[in-house]
């Protein structure tokens, strides 16, 4: 009996061993570790992946090249124009100089490239210019991946207007049904004109040209009843007409036109450097720092001024710039108010009121994010 039980036990033991051997392989795949390369590819939870722009940013290229290439207009006095000696001058041109001063320490280290209304964004996206300051309106479409622009803070708040002859009998847009209107192609101006006149139920005939000089010349020759562009552009263009006093700008404002600089979308390092130079110009005016007193203001006890001028805080280093980058900008170019007055203010032929382009403390829209 005992022998028989022993034989049964041995038999059951053998069956159990065989069953275990057969069942083991089914569990093996669940225990197989992930390949080593897959584990290495995932960054640790507390260490986010480094941004691609840190390697090969345009900021490094500009520093190595020793100059910036800036896309500008050359046909709008006060904003972007070429004088009799072939020198670029204007409000937008000074922003190019500010970027050069902040990045390279030399406001004159700029190569200017004319950017037309049709090709300005292409020049940026193809890398032919590093930055665009060319009286360009920031819109949703232009900020999208479709166009590929990274927009800087607004540096001029504008609106579209209409210029007509004083003896035309036109006193408002309501009087312009059936009018011929000179307008530049490839601009928000062209689109706004169609939108506004359609909404008002007015017919018009557009007379379209590629650049501002040809557009204004056609109007001056009497080929159009009206000439439309941003109001700041109308003020500037009026000074160049054959008989400026014979023309007037209607009170109607047809659109919002926030004008700003732009860089290529996809390089946050370069975008941040340009962005904070523009912001620095606005903050400097608010803080009372000018080209004349910048050295004195470096001794200020105001924390904002200390950080802005690089006395403390390592602000420049965070942007890949020298900590005194705004000292260079302000010494060589001046603050926002100095740029405005030099090109558009009371002592210029334009005498353009600051209006919305005043500091927020003065009822305007200029407002700098904190330097901290």
Q: Enter the pTM of the model.
A: 0.81
Q: What pLDDT does residue 89 have? A: 97
Question: Token pair 């901290």 is at which residue?
Answer: 372
d(CA 288, CA 98): 18
What's the pLDDT at 24?
A: 38
pLDDT digit string (tens) for the chain, length 372 residues: 443 434 434 343 333 433 333 333 333 333 333 333 333 333 333 332 333 334 589 999 999 999 999 999 998 999 999 988 999 999 999 999 999 999 999 999 999 999 998 899 999 999 999 999 999 999 999 999 888 899 999 999 999 999 999 999 999 999 999 999 999 998 889 999 999 999 999 999 999 998 888 999 999 999 999 999 999 999 999 999 999 999 999 999 999 999 999 999 999 999 999 999 999 999 999 999 999 999 999 999 999 999 999 999 999 999 999 999 999 999 999 999 999 999 999 999 999 999 999 999 999 999 999 999
Instruction: Specify the pLDDT at position 34.
Output: 34
CATH of 160-255, one of 3.40.50.300, 2.40.128.280, 3.40.190.10, 3.30.70.270: 3.40.190.10
Distances (CA, A) of 275 to 151, 205, 281: 8, 40, 10
Helix, strand counts (H, E) of the chain: 15, 13
Residues of the chain with CATH 3.40.190.10: 56-158+258-362, 160-255
C-alpha count within 13 angstroms, C-beta hemisphere, residue 304: 14
Alpha-carbon span 217 to 211, nearest angstrom: 10
Q: CA 81, CA 90: separation in Å to the nearest integer?
A: 6
Residue 275 has a pLDDT of: 98
3-state SS, one letter per residue, for 266-289: CCHHHHHHHHHHHHHHHHHHHHCC
**Structure tokens that stand for 109 in this block:** 């280290």
Task: For residue 211, give the DSSP letter.
Answer: S
Please tell me whether residue 264 adopts helix, strand or coil conformation. Answer: strand
Distance in angstroms (rounded) separating the CA atoms of residues 71 and 124: 8
What's the confidence (pLDDT) of residue 118?
87
Cα–Cα dist 64/260, whole Å: 26
Query: Which superfamily does 56-158+258-362 belong to?
Result: Periplasmic binding protein-like II (3.40.190.10)
Q: Are 148 and 125 in contact (CB under 8 A)?
A: yes
Percent helix / strand / coil, the chain, rounded to 5: 45, 20, 35
């Amino acid at each position: 009996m005992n022998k028989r039980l022993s034989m049964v036990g041995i038999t059951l033991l053998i069956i159990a061993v065989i069953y275990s051997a057969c069942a083991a392989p089914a569990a093996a795949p669940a225990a197989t570790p992930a390949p080593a390369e897959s584990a290495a590819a995932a960054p640790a939870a507390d260490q986010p992946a480094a941004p691609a722009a840190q390697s090969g940013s345009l900021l490094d290229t500009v520093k190595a090249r020793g100059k910036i290439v800036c896309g500008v207009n050359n046909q709008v006095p006060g904003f972007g124009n070429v004088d009799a000696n072939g020198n670029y001058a204007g409000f937008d041109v000074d922003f190019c100089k500010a970027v050069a001063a902040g990045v390279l320490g030399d406001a004159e280290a700029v190569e200017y490239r004319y950017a037309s209304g049709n090709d300005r964004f292409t020049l940026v996206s193809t890398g032919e210019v590093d930055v665009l300051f060319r009286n360009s309106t920031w819109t949703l479409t232009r900020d999208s991946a479709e166009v590929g622009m990274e927009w800087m803070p607004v540096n001029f708040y504008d609106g579209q207007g209409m210029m007509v002859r004083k003896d035309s009998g036109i006193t408002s847009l309501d009087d312009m049904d059936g009018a011929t209107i000179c307008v530049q192609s490839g601009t928000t101006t062209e689109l706004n004109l169609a939108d506004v006149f359609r909404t008002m139920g007015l017919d018009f005939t557009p007379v379209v040209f590629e650049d501002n000089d040809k557009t204004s010349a056609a109007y001056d020759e009497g080929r159009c009843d009206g000439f439309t562009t941003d109001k700041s552009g109308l003020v500037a263009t009026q000074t160049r007409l054959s008989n400026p006093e014979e023309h007037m700008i209607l009170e109607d404002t047809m659109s919002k036109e926030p004008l700003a600089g732009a860089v290529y979308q996809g390089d946050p390092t370069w975008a941040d450097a340009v962005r904070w130079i523009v912001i620095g110009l606005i903050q400097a005016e608010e803080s009372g720092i000018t080209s004349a007193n910048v050295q004195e203001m470096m001794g200020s006890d105001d924390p904002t001024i200390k950080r802005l001028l690089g006395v403390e805080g390592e602000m420049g280093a965070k942007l890949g710039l020298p900590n005194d980058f705004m000292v260079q900008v302000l010494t060589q170019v001046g603050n926002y108010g100095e740029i405005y007055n030099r090109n558009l203010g009371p002592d210029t032929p334009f005498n353009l009121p600051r209006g919305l382009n005043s500091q927020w403390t003065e009822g305007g829209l200029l407002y700098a994010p904190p330097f901290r």
